[in-house]
Structure 1
Amino acid sequence: GRPLSFDYPQQGRFNLTGGVQIFPEFVALLVGLSTYTAAFIAEVVRAGILAVSRGQTEAAHALGLRSGPTLKLVVIPQAMRVIIPPLTSQYLNLVKNSSLAVAIGYPDLTQVFMGTVLNQTGQAVEMVSITMAVYLTISLVTSFAMNIYNKRMALVER
């Protein structure tokens, strides 16, 4: 039931057994969620970099900084203040979208709680409540961590 299982390959009677096994459902989930989320995060980063005024880049070049140090020392620190809030939303969307793994047959948290445990106990309200509580906890922890990071990156008024 794990997405990856490591074992030493052994010569069987007709073929090799053991070794690394990667389930196709896991690969489909990984590729789908990674591609979908990466596209949105790339757009968020691009928009954040474009939000920094062109005058900042020109001023850095006027001081003699090349493109690499200008991006690292001037543009990215200012862009991060714009990037972090929508990036938090994308991370929360990623957590929520991971529950779609049930649609491709991968046994994730939703299927374990809502499928297996519900069939064994027959207590639907309690299982839905537990599933909601787990997703709420994951979302709140993610949001809390990103809010701490956002406060560290915010401008400090003097």
Structure 2
Amino acid sequence: VGLALLAYALSGFPLTFDYPKQSTFNLTGGFQVRPEFLSLYLALSCYTAAFIAEIVRAGIRGVSKGQTEAAGALGLRPGSILRLVVVPQAMRIVIPPLTSQYLNLTKNSSLAIAIGYPDLTATAGTVLNQTGQAVEGVVIMMVIYLAISLLTSLVMNWFNAKMALVER
């Protein structure tokens, strides 16, 4: 409901959802997921998930074993130890490489052209072929990727500052 209201407020056009309906021979309406998008989604998800899992594992292993033993000596259960002691300390280790991985994901999305998915790179290539203005197309791509990278970096740096140790 909020997304529809936001779309209506920003563009003036209502956002409608088209549900698939059974017709005589086939389904009509609805949303179709293209195979190129699905393969891009699965490839980038699996690739990035493997790196993020390794980053989180390293962050958890980076917390001293003495912290876990001290929390256990205080009588905390294993789930509480993980939630209250290990994860907050691991987040300070995890956030910087996680920022790099998110920026890497943004850059890797430009490889969608290799499987035929029309992303920003393919659109700029089409504009180049039709207008012959290579510099403008490359500059627009650079500005868009720069804006996405700066926004990602800004959010992750804000989160890193929130998780930093507070000196008293």
TM-score, normalized by the shorter chain, greater than 0.5: yes
1:78-115 CA-partner distances (Å, limit 9, x unpaired): 000000000000000000000000000111111112x2
In the TM superposition, residue 18 of structure 1 has moved relative to its aligned partner by 2.7
Q: Secondary structure at the match of 1:98?
A: helix
Match of 1:100 in 2: 111
Q: Judge which range, 118-127 or 44-53, deviates more.
A: 118-127
TM-score scaled by structure 1? 0.91
* Cα-Cα RMSD: 1.5
Q: Which amino acid aligns with 2:119?
A: D
Match of 1:72 in 2: 83
| 1:1-158 matched pairs, under 5 angstroms | 7-113=18-124, 115-158=125-168
In the TM superposition, residue 133 of structure 1 has moved relative to its aligned partner by 1.0
The sequence identity of aligned pairs, in percent, is 72
Q: Secondary structure at the match of 2:102?
A: helix
Q: Secondary structure at the match of 1:22?
A: coil
Taking the aligned partners of 1:59 and 1:141, their CA distance within structure 2 comes to 39
Q: Which amino acid aligns with 1:124?
A: A
Q: Which runs of 4+ in 1 moved over 4 A?
A: none
In the TM superposition, residue 75 of structure 1 has moved relative to its aligned partner by 0.3
Q: Secondary structure at the match of 1:21?
A: coil
Q: Judge which range, 40-49 or 17-26, deviates more.
A: 17-26
Q: How many residues align?
A: 153
